[in-house]
Amino acid sequence: MSDARAAILGTLRRTRDAHPVTPPPSDFTPLADKQWPPEERLPRIRRMMEAVHTEFLDATEADWPAVVTDFLTRAGAANLLYAPGTADGATLSAYPLPPREREGTHAQHGEGEGFAGSDGPSPSDTPSPFPLRGPLPSPETGEENTASLTLIPYDRPIEDFKQQMFEGIDAGLTGTLGAIADTGSLILWPSADEPRLLSLVPHIHVALLRADALYDSFWQAMRDQRWADAMPTNALLISGPSKTADIEQTLAYGVHGPKRLVVVIVR
Return all residues near 158 (Cβ < 8 A) that are at least 6 apart.
113, 114, 115, 165, 197
Q: In this predicted structure, what is the pLDDT of residue 101?
A: 52
Does residue 58 fall inside a structural domain?
yes
Q: Which H or E element spans position 199? A: helix 197-200
Is the pLDDT score of 61 beyond 80? yes
Q: In this predicted structure, what is the pLDDT of residue 103?
A: 53
CATH of the domain at 65: 3.40.50.10420
Lowest mean pLDDT among 3-17, 120-134, 206-220: 120-134
Does residue 31 fall inside a structural domain?
no
Q: What is the model's pTM? A: 0.75
Does residue 197 fall inside a structural domain?
yes
What's the rounded mean pLDDT across residues 115-120? 38
Does residue 156 fall inside a structural domain?
yes
Q: In this predicted structure, what is the pLDDT of residue 110?
A: 32
Count of domains forming the chain: 1
Across-strand partners of 173?
A: 206
Does residue 80 fall inside a structural domain?
yes
Does residue 87 fall inside a structural domain?
yes
Among 171, 200, 176, 204, smallest CA distance to 188 is for: 176
Q: Would you state the torsion angle of the CA atoms of residues 153, 186, 196, 102, taken in this order, to the nearest 10 degrees?
A: 10
Q: In this predicted structure, what is the pLDDT of residue 27?
A: 87
Which residues span the domain enclosing 233? Answer: 40-106+146-243+250-267
Q: In this predicted structure, what is the pLDDT of residue 152?
A: 92
Does residue 224 fall inside a structural domain?
yes
What's the rounded mean pLDDT across residues 108-127? 37
pLDDT digits (tens, 9 = 90+) for 50-60: 999 999 999 99
Does residue 95 fall inside a structural domain?
yes
Q: In this predicted structure, what is the pLDDT of residue 147?
A: 60
Q: In this predicted structure, what is the pLDDT of residue 87?
A: 95
Of 119 and 255, the structure prediction assigns the larger pLDDT to 255
